[in-house]
Structure 1
Amino acid sequence: MSLYLPLLGRKFTWCNSSDGEKWSKIDRVLVDPKWLEVFQLKLWGLPRLLSDHSSLILMEDERDWGPKPFRFQNTWLLHKNFHSFLEKTWKEFAVVGWAGYILLEKLKNLKVGLKKWNVEVFGNITNKLKATEVELHRLELVADARDLDDTERRRRREVRGEVWRLSKMVERLWSQKSRMNWALMGDRNTRFFHSHFLEEWNGRPGLGGSFNSVQGSGDFNRLEAKFSEVEIKAALMDCDGNKAPGPDGFNMGCF
């Protein structure tokens, strides 16, 4: 047995056109009653922006997942003032200690500065989009209750066009945040791995034969030689900048 949840936030989930002449509640969410015994779920209707349908979100309002973790975004590198900001923040923060400690403290300070810079400088497009979406949603709620007048309809068309324009800009931002290698290759690589190694093997191949020691080879000392600074930098610069960040949130693109 499944249950319907009441819709919060708006009355309708579909509109026939941008002018909003016909409205209907044709979208539903079914929930197993056992979920309601464990979670305090609520169903919200989100703003109808570019589609005829309103997105629905099922969420547990009272659960606090804590602050979002910091992630270095490679799109910051495209901002004309980013490199000067980064250099200034890095050089002005003085730390005394051994090299690993200095690096750790400087990254901590840089993280604080980047969060503030992202909101005050780089985050303007996202903030504008959110404000425009709020205005469009307000007009949609008015249209839910009554017919819009000519001025309101004209304003809604203008706001809808602005939402579309800003959405395309933010879409480019998120395309930089996504891991393109995973989107293109991750799924097929995972399927290949599962198909070959998760099945039971009756006769798993083994490695046999005799192996000679390399200790007497002329290249043996090179295997245990210390890495030079040039080699380390070359290996670092060879890495894909979209690789997953470490626990501190800084990915290879940052370094």
Structure 2
Amino acid sequence: MNCLSVNVRGLGVNVRDLGFDSKAGWIRRIKSEMGISFIGIQETMSCNIDSGLVSNFWGGLGFDFEKVDSIRNSGGLLSIWDPKVLMKDLVLKDTNFLLVSGLLTDGTTRLNVINVYAPQNNGDKRDLWAKISEVLNGGHGWWIVFGDFNAVREPSERKNSCFDPVCAREFNDFLDDTGLREYNMKVMRFTYLVNRRGECKMSRIDRIFVCDAIFNKWPNACVRALKREYSDHAPLCLSLIDKNFAPKPFRWFNSWLDRPGCEEVILSGLLGWSNSGPADLNLIRKLGSLRGKLKAWINDLRIKENEDVKRLILEKEDMERLMEHKELDEAELWVWVECKKSLQEIDSFRHRDMRQKSWVKWASLGDENTSFFPQKVGDPLTSTEAR
């Protein structure tokens, strides 16, 4: 199950409002692109949330939701999820957190998701940590705890703003006491960015935590900070199966290495690349760029190859018709020989590609692909009589 946590700094209650449309469309797009099953929104700043409004953020019907109303224009929480993934049977609400608990589709695994919006005051945060700890210690099943915690864990998680060691120590103590774990966050170092009097203040106050059971079951899960488009907080996406960011499959034929220009395309794509950004995304972009260059190269080569085949066949046939009336001179004979050699070379490349495709298909489909091998490989099974 993929989860999205985002502080929107106000949903808006008027669906005609431009900000509402922008934020709703933004979250819908993220949900679609990332395959999100659970959305947690902080700072709704609204007491008028109904299913009609929520549908704009989810994108149609087929959802369930729970909310905590804001106090005047402060706070407010909204959790939306796919009931086909999580079947809710318990909800616990507090001013600063919203727990949704239920069974996953297997009917036996309990998942508890806590959506958090922490207060600014250290004393209020201390009380919140105690409440959440009590909930965690008194429950059972898997736990995901995410949201805006208004706290950092170490000085490096703030830039151009003051680090509060007391707040950080109490936050870390809360995490240690509850046993919550955290995946490395990819793409960004900071989640919150605000410009105050011409100075950009940055911090990592938005987090996603999981229990030991989830962390051990999905040790390679992914938490990504997405682009801040309609909020000064970066949305966080927890992907328990990090498949959305893998390079797309690419069909490669071994014969390409012997074709003219292939090596040059590969070298130019690798050596001409300018590294930037996180290493994992940089590698994916680099391979994606090389994939694009190779596709363009092979497409151009095949177009030229088809044109060459037509031309070579015509020239070869012209020479053979001429043979019927006279002996070819040295130049004409050379043209005929070179045409035959070039056609055989192209045919050889195509045969190698066909053979490789057949081997791949044989590996995946087995006996459904037997027809090629008796002719080309001499499969001993085809010569064995049934007994």
TM-score (norm 1): 0.31
Relative to its length, the structure with more helix (as a share) is: 1
Relative contact order: is structure 1 or structure 2 higher (C-alpha 8 Å, sep ≥ 6)? 1
TM-score (norm 2): 0.22
